[in-house]
Homo-oligomer: A and B are copies of this chain.
Amino acid sequence: MLKTCCENVRKNVPLVHNITNYVTVNDVANVLLACGGSPIMSDEPEDVVDITAICSALNINIGTLHKTSIEAMLKAGKKSNELGHPVLLDPVGAGASALRTNTAVELMKELKLTVIRGNISEIKTLALGSGTTKGVDADVADKVTDETLDDSIRFVKNFAKESGSIVAVTGAIDLVSDGEKCYVIRNGRPEMGQITGTGCQLSGMMTAFVAANPDNQLEAAAAAVCMMGLAGEIGWSRMVEGDGNSTYRNRIIDAIYNMTGEILEKGAKYEVR
């Protein structure tokens, strides 16, 4: 199934509209090209409705918000919803400022989100801020580890169910759930956190995967997570003495570029819970 998800991206070449931060935008574009998609960026409110209309999906990332880009996110998101396009939200820094938290919560309320992808603390912020978490859930630990796994899975499933979105929480162990099933994924390397924007890159790629696999969006989201992590492992295996995070960034994108459905199927480490 992961194999097919990966191959469908290369076959369908989904055009993805990205309203994303200016820190990691170039890498997001190159990762989308590497995995077989096609990127277009636009965050001007007067431009986004036209652009979203010619795309297959929308990737919203709140990493560097501006007043005008928030307006653009809402306009593009509503148009995408109207057209039945998948919409992904990456709530970068939700919990770190009122503007980020409030914007993410507003986007959740105003838009039908196909996927929400973030780290555990961002996702917890959304769960609390949008009133979709009750009782024990709010106490979920700040890291997904083997010790906290059961609680974390329960939290992610509940949040997915209540929000009506696929929820992807990435960290040392990644969780991807639609409220019923939960993929528990163990690909990746800790050194990926020393590169800026691997999360943003994953969100861009995941949007392409979900767009190219409309009938298997949960599997597609999980496939993107496995592929990013596996690319991190393959990229790391090509590092030599003296290389550091800048070369590692290139190696990871290169590994995505060379990924096939078979390599992915073979290298993916996951269980379904």
- Hey, which bits of chain A sit against chain B, CB under 8 A? 21-27, 29-30, 33-34, 39-44, 46-47, 50-51, 54, 63-68, 93, 96-100, 194-197, 234, 238, 242-247, 249-258
Closest Cβ of chain B to A166, distance in Å, is: 27
Look across to chain B and name the residue whose beta carbon is closest to the beta carbon of A43: B64
A51 and B96 contacting across the interface, CB-CB below 8 Å: yes
Interchain CA distance A252-B216 in the complex, whole Å: 38
- Given the complex, which residues of B lie within 8 Å of A27, measured CB to CB? 26
Q: When the two chains form the complex, which single residue of B66, B197, B244, B252 contacts A26, counting CB atoms closer than 8 Å?
A: B197
- For the complex of A and B, list the 10 residue pairs with the smallest distance between their C-beta atoms, beginning with the closest: A244-B257, A244-B254, A50-B97, A246-B253, A29-B196, A246-B250, A47-B99, A22-B22, A33-B194, A245-B257
- Each complex incorporates copies of this chain amounting to 3
On chain B, the residues within 8 Å of A238 by CB distance are 242
B41 and A65 within 8 A (CB): no
Q: Please indicate the chain B residues that have their CB under 8 angstroms from the CB of A93 in the complex.
A: 40, 42, 51
**Inside 8 A of A234's CB, which chain B residues have their CB?**
242
- List, in ascending order, chain B residues with CB within 8 A of A66's CB: 43-44, 68
Cα–Cα, bound, A245→B33 (Å): 8
Contact across chains for A26 and B24 when beta carbons are under 8 A apart: yes
Chain B neighbourhood of A46, CB < 8 A: 67, 99
Known: A99-B47, A197-B26. Is A257-B253 also a contact (CB below 8 A)?
Answer: no
Q: What are the residues of chain B within 8 A of A100 when measuring CB–CB?
A: 47
Q: Find out whether the CB atom of A96 lies under 8 angstroms from the CB atom of B30.
A: no
